[in-house]
């Protein structure tokens, strides 16, 4: 998969962001900003642009929450 395929999803998400209530638009912009930072090199293992978009958005959320794997007993 290449960046231009992800750009189609990003554009749809940007349009959807404009339809959100004003206080929620900042979150839609945040997600599309995440997608705009992706590179071809990062997308090489994906075939589905929506899967790639979900992965990178969830990855960013996990980072922001400082997610740490639970300790196994």
Higher pLDDT, 71 or 57: 57
Q: Are 1 and 46 in contact (CB under 8 A)?
A: yes
**What is the mean pLDDT of the segment spanning 40-62?**
95
The DSSP output letter for 14 is H
Q: What is the pLDDT of residue 39?
A: 95
pTM for this model (two decimals) = 0.83
65 pLDDT tier (thresholds 50, 70, 90): confident
Q: Where are the domains of the chain?
A: 3-64
pLDDT of residue 62: 87
Region 32-59: what's the mean pLDDT?
A: 96
Express as a percent the part of the chain with pLDDT over 70. Answer: 90
* SS3 call for 52: helix
Coarse DSSP helix, strand, coil percentages of the chain, rounded to the nearest 5 percent: 70, 0, 30
């Amino acid at each position: 998969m290449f960046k231009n395929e992800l750009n189609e999803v990003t554009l749809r998400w940007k349009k959807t962001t404009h339809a959100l209530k004003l206080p929620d638009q900042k979150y839609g912009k945040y997600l599309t900003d995440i997608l705009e930072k992706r590179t071809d090199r990062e997308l090489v293992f994906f075939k589905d642009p929506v899967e790639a978009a979900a992965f990178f958005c969830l990855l960013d959320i996990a980072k922001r929450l400082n997610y740490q794997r639970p300790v196994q007993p």
